[in-house]
Structure 1
Amino acid sequence: MHSSRCTGRARKRRPRSAGSGSPLTSCCCSRSGSRGARGSARRRWRHRKALPFALTPHQEQAIRELDGDLARTVPMQRLLQGDVGSGKTVVALYALLRAVENGRQGALMAPTETLAEQHFLTIEGLCSELDVTCALLTSATPKGEREQALGADVVVGTHALIQKDVELRDLAVAVVDEQHRFGVEQRRALTEGRSPHVLHMTATPIPRTLALTVYGDLAVSEIAKPPAMRKPVITSWIPEEKAPEAYRRLQRLLDDGRQAYVVCPLVEASETTQARAAEQEAERLRRAELKGYRIGCLHGRLKPADRRELMSQFKSRDLDVLVATTVIEVGVDVPNSTVMIVQEADRFGLAQLHQLRGRVGRGAEQSYCLLVSRTKEELTEAAQTRLQALVATTDGFELAEVDLDLRGGGQLLGTRQAGISDLKFARLRADRPLLERARTLAASLVDESGPLQDEVDALFADTDPAALA
């Protein structure tokens, strides 16, 4: 296909070529069995009664979709999309309790100890009301308590859940929170050797996730709206020379009793990079723009107990400003904090920036996010696109589409999560309508032994089925 005449013919035939591979891929994504999770409606009713609030219509719809998946014997692979604070955890708890109804076990894996602890504190009280045992398992859990934790009905944990010496009792439902923070191999390790139902939760799907969603391996539930009292975060992108002015404006909000985050890319200054460091920035702000205000510095090198103490001070308003690294990306909920300033924002990825922004806007007050970077002329085109996208939208799926364009869809049949897609003709965004048609067709073809069967078997002969999980 190199001559101009051949190129013309290729363009005419491309939709057929693009579509021809799609049902094959979709068929394999439709193959995969798990025991259903049918259970008593009585405990589900008690679960709802125990909640201190009414579920939103979007949460109710997500639960109905989960019920449909859990009643089937094919393992659920569902993506629960919703911005931070939209109420995903309650829906996840519902799925975990469905496993317990059947005398089996549920597990929730979070990327950080801070987030795992927050999830545990959120659901442990509800579980105890329902006579469901709940345990926390992290790298800090003493060895003597690990075995007891693994026998609980619901286990909440970090990467500690996927260590070689960890054996879950009888896993029926696995929830992976902030799944963009885990690699393919890590997510697979939680379900390896089992066939549990899997619920992936995220506020910003990574490109591979978006691609597999199109191809049918992941069904999507969306909690589209946060609680009615919350206002969208206003995001602005400013050059470094305007940062002092931003801090002066911040002072007025601090004087009104609000709090703020300042995010830096590094913990401490490095000889190999000019990136701004949290420790040095905290010291500079104490001497300069924010002199007289109470400033704390939070990063991953602090001991867990020290991190918890700092966060406790910030939540109780004993600190005005928290200078931090991306350790606050997930698991931090302080409604009174209404301003975030991200230094050198061009050094962060799109998913990171979206998650960081989600730390503000969690109360009824208007919140703001300021992205500080070098001048546009000094940035790469990709960095400019990322920052412009964040200013333009707060929608996680829209941002994932931008990320897909920038990074590529990765390997659908492998573990590489970004880069050039391994599809020969179909393009994930340009051919979206065609791919969705292929997905619909695949559902009717998966149990058919027709003319495509040999091609499907040949296409996936060397593919590890677990790579599609």
Structure 2
Amino acid sequence: MKQLSLEDLKKQSIRYIKGVGESRLSLFKRLNINNFFDLLTYYPKAYEDRSIIKNIADLQDGELCSFEGTIVSNVNVTRPRRGMTISKVSVQDSTGKITAIWFNQHYIKNSLTVGANYIFYGKVERKFNKLQISNPVFEKIDNTQSHNNGLKKSLKILPVYPSTKDLSQNLIRTIMQEALKSFNNIELEDIIPKEIREKYNLADIMFSLNEIHFPKTELDKDMARYRLVFEELFLLQLGLLSYKNIATAERQGIKYTKSYEMEEFIKSLPFELTNAQKRVFKEVEQDMESNNIMNRLVQGDVGSGKTIIAVLALFKAVKCGYQGALMVPTEILAEQHYNSVKPLLEKFDIKVELLSGNQSKKQKQVVFEGLKNGTINVVIGTHALIEDTVEFLNLGLVITDEQHRFGVRQRSILTEKGRNPDVLVMTATPIPRTLALILYGDLDISIIDELPPGRKPIKTYSVNESMRERINNFIRETVQAGQQVYIVCPLVEESEEIEAKSAVVTAEDISKNVFKDLKVGIIHGKMKSNEKESIMRSFKDGEISILVSTTIIEVGVNVPNATLMVIENAERFGLAQLHQLRGRVGRGGTQSYCILFNQSNSKVSKERMKIMAQSNDGFVISEKDLEIRGPGEFFGTKQHGLPELKIANLYKDLEILKLAQEGAKEIAIKDPGLIKNKKLKQYLAQHFGEKATLS
């Protein structure tokens, strides 16, 4: 029997599957389906269970279900208006009666026979206290055979796929069946080692692919899903373990000594550390003083004071004879950190410099030379730090801020500029602890769960369009009181398909009409870097009163004078993102506000806005975000440089995740170089980089 690997499937186009061809290939490409692998791993989002037959008397309003009945009337066809026909028929069983209705289905009249029995499937509605079902699918029953043998189509569990225009569910199902049929005489290579499959009771790969798409029973579907979820999380965990091993390849880290000046430095700070900051720095310090390489994630809510942990770690590194680097995602954030960190460290003879893309060649050259000869102790910069031209004399500590803006590989490039430097990663995107273990599985985790004293909770309100004038008056009052305002929009430009306020249109409207007497600025991702920097600097310096922006300001500059955040089409943002945006205000001593314009009447949208109004705790909000939306939108693994999760739901599959982690660690211990598991080694190299290995 011919054997194929997963990689072989990626080389086979779906064009030649019966029913696809050149014309439909472009439709499938819209769904990111280009090859056999993409198609077979295009998992259903839900299922229609047509296998359970109910009595008519037990049918509930609004449910999708199957029932069996006898046709007890002729098909009645009416034409209420031109271009519309309605076909009605009465169906009865021993418990009750229901009316089946079809719209513009001309074939119905000749398809149903009075006195014959049929299975129907569709959505049941109760209207005027009578049951009806609209546009049901149906199949005639051969009464001489049992249900299981006599029915070909109706009594099945059918997959429901995410779709696109011109690709019906029936068409996707047909193509999927054709694809699976082509594997009848082919064995698909199983990437998971046999001992792991046996220990964790994992089903065969071909069984799993067949049953996840077209399950014979609910139990088969569950077995298939368990296997495929386990596989995704197992491979992800192996990859993360390999990253950890890349970071600690030579095992021996820098063993920092106690710094006698540390206590004096902490006393010199213009504020007192919170208990949470003291606890987290103690964890960092213990890592730095151990023989192992530090790989630690510091999570803290917006405004919890993560930066000072970085400063303390940099101080320790330099006082022990090493250089430190702090990498941040934007130039303006790098500049902000530079301006706040430099005066704290320079009092203790630590030379701090800035490195960013907008510096002149001459300025950069001075920094390059200072880092290479060791006269610069600490550098704060953007992606410019990972360029080949940057060399360090003795890099001992690497810190990345707002880690979700950097891929894992970018972090690796910077660490390779030193000899096993310690690594500290910081993020203000609150992630539930269990999830953080996945996303940052190569890191130990510390959480700053306390805000500095004096911070007033931001008052948050959800409003609709009827409050527009009142909110505009509030914006004007805020500016007249000498404070500044953010107005955030989800889109840069208007879109025909999406009705949402765009930053460009909103800025034009409020600057020319609503607030023409006030200073309005606009900032969005399509602007050139120097334009963005210039606008942001003007806002920070108070030259702009109202800044209209896209989510570009989500991670950003500290403007204590900004006390009002207005978010247009708030329903289009995730809760975690709304919380991040809200964190741009409330940074001074003045009471701050966040106004959420919700243009949706859906129950889910109202529930999300209610959560935002009731809580200022980012960890609570991120948990709720996961619950409501699922992890697909919550974080895309792609931006972290990790393979995409196609079936695992990190909120619902935590138990499988723990087992997958356990299995991955088992392989890492038993076969560290993956000598016995060449397929896994090949997979890691392709998805996590050539250096990815468990040794």
Counterpart contact for 1:138–1:160, Cα < 8 Å: yes
Match of 2:395 in 1: 171
TM-aligned CA distance change 1:228 to 1:41, over 3 Å: same
Alpha-carbon distance in 2 for matches of 1:309, 1:63: 32
Q: What is the alpha-carbon root mean square deviation over aligned residues?
A: 4.4
Match of 1:35 in 2: 253
Counterpart contact for 1:23–1:441, Cα < 8 Å: no
Alpha-carbon distance in 1 for matches of 2:291, 2:601: 53
Give the alignment's TM-score, normalised by structure 2.
0.56
Match of 1:395 in 2: 617
In the TM superposition, residue 135 of structure 1 has moved relative to its aligned partner by 0.7
1:256-405 maps to which residues of 2 (within 5 A)?
A: 256-265=481-490, 276-299=501-524, 300-301=527-528, 303=531, 306-307=534-535, 309-314=537-542, 319-348=544-573, 350-376=575-601, 390-401=612-623, 402-403=625-626, 405=631
In the TM superposition, residue 107 of structure 1 has moved relative to its aligned partner by 0.7
Match of 1:428 in 2: 650
| Number of equivalenced pairs | 458
Pick one of 444, 449, 460 that aligns with 1:219.
444
Alpha-carbon distance in 2 for matches of 1:148, 1:209: 44
| Structure 2: segments with no counterpart, 5+ residues | 1-210
Pick one of 348, 353, 367 that aligns with 1:130.
348
Letter in 1 for 2:515: L
Alpha-carbon distance in 1 for matches of 2:325, 2:408: 18
Q: Which protein has greater RCO, CA pairs closer than 8 Å, 6+ apart?
A: 1
Counterpart contact for 1:267–1:277, Cα < 8 Å: yes
Letter in 2 for 1:310: S
Alpha-carbon distance in 2 for matches of 1:440, 1:61: 29
Among the aligned pairs, what percent are the same residue?
37
Match of 2:464 in 1: 239
Q: Deviations over 1:381-436 (max 9, x none)?
A: 7x778656544543333444435524377669x93365426x6xxx5333546756
1:204-215 maps to which residues of 2 (within 5 A)?
A: 204=429, 210-213=435-438
Give the alignment's TM-score, normalised by structure 1.
0.80
Q: For 2:411, what is the secondary structure of its paired residue?
A: helix
Q: Deviations over 1:106-128 (max 9, x none)?
A: 11111111100000011111121
TM-aligned CA distance change 1:349 to 1:56, over 3 Å: same
TM-aligned CA distance change 1:387 to 1:164, over 3 Å: farther
Q: For 2:642, what is the secondary structure of its paired residue?
A: coil
Letter in 2 for 1:123: V
Letter in 2 for 1:97: F
Alpha-carbon distance in 1 for matches of 2:244, 2:610: 37
TM-aligned CA distance change 1:398 to 1:196, over 3 Å: farther
Counterpart contact for 1:334–1:362, Cα < 8 Å: yes
Alpha-carbon distance in 2 for matches of 1:209, 1:467: 24
Counterpart contact for 2:539–2:545, Cα < 8 Å: no
Residue 330 (structure 2) pairs with residue 112 (structure 1): yes
Counterpart contact for 1:295–1:322, Cα < 8 Å: yes
More strand by share: 2
Counterpart contact for 2:395–2:417, Cα < 8 Å: no
Q: Deviations over 1:18-50 (max 9, x none)?
A: 9x9599748657644352241342132232132
Alpha-carbon distance in 2 for matches of 1:296, 1:328: 13
Q: For 1:42, what is the secondary structure of its paired residue?
A: coil
Alpha-carbon distance in 1 for matches of 2:415, 2:299: 21
1:30-179 maps to which residues of 2 (within 5 A)?
A: 31=245, 32=248, 33-150=251-368, 151=371, 152-179=376-403
Alpha-carbon distance in 1 for matches of 2:643, 2:669: 31
Letter in 2 for 1:336: N
Q: Deviations over 1:166-206 (max 9, x none)?
A: 33333221111111122333333322465322211111157
Match of 2:415 in 1: 191
Counterpart contact for 2:681–2:693, Cα < 8 Å: no
In the TM superposition, residue 274 of structure 1 has moved relative to its aligned partner by 6.2
More helix by share: 1
Counterpart contact for 2:351–2:378, Cα < 8 Å: yes
In the TM superposition, residue 284 of structure 1 has moved relative to its aligned partner by 2.6
Alpha-carbon distance in 2 for matches of 1:451, 1:182: 28
In the TM superposition, residue 163 of structure 1 has moved relative to its aligned partner by 2.2
Letter in 2 for 1:139: G
TM-aligned CA distance change 1:385 to 1:207, over 3 Å: farther
Alpha-carbon distance in 2 for matches of 1:332, 1:9: 47
| Structure 1: segments with no counterpart, 5+ residues | none
Alpha-carbon distance in 2 for matches of 1:188, 1:348: 31
1:244-259 maps to which residues of 2 (within 5 A)?
A: 244-259=469-484
Letter in 2 for 1:337: A
Q: For 2:261, what is the secondary structure of its paired residue?
A: helix
Pick one of 405, 411, 415 that aligns with 1:181.
405
In the TM superposition, residue 310 of structure 1 has moved relative to its aligned partner by 1.1
TM-aligned CA distance change 1:452 to 1:120, over 3 Å: closer
TM-aligned CA distance change 1:266 to 1:439, over 3 Å: closer
Alpha-carbon distance in 2 for matches of 1:23, 1:112: 29
Q: For 1:225, what is the secondary structure of its paired residue?
A: coil
TM-aligned CA distance change 1:217 to 1:283, over 3 Å: same
Q: For 2:264, what is the secondary structure of its paired residue?
A: helix
Residue 641 (structure 2) pairs with residue 415 (structure 1): yes
In the TM superposition, residue 158 of structure 1 has moved relative to its aligned partner by 0.7
Counterpart contact for 2:458–2:592, Cα < 8 Å: yes
In the TM superposition, residue 129 of structure 1 has moved relative to its aligned partner by 0.9
Q: Highest CA radius of gyration, 1 or 2?
A: 2
Counterpart contact for 1:407–1:419, Cα < 8 Å: no
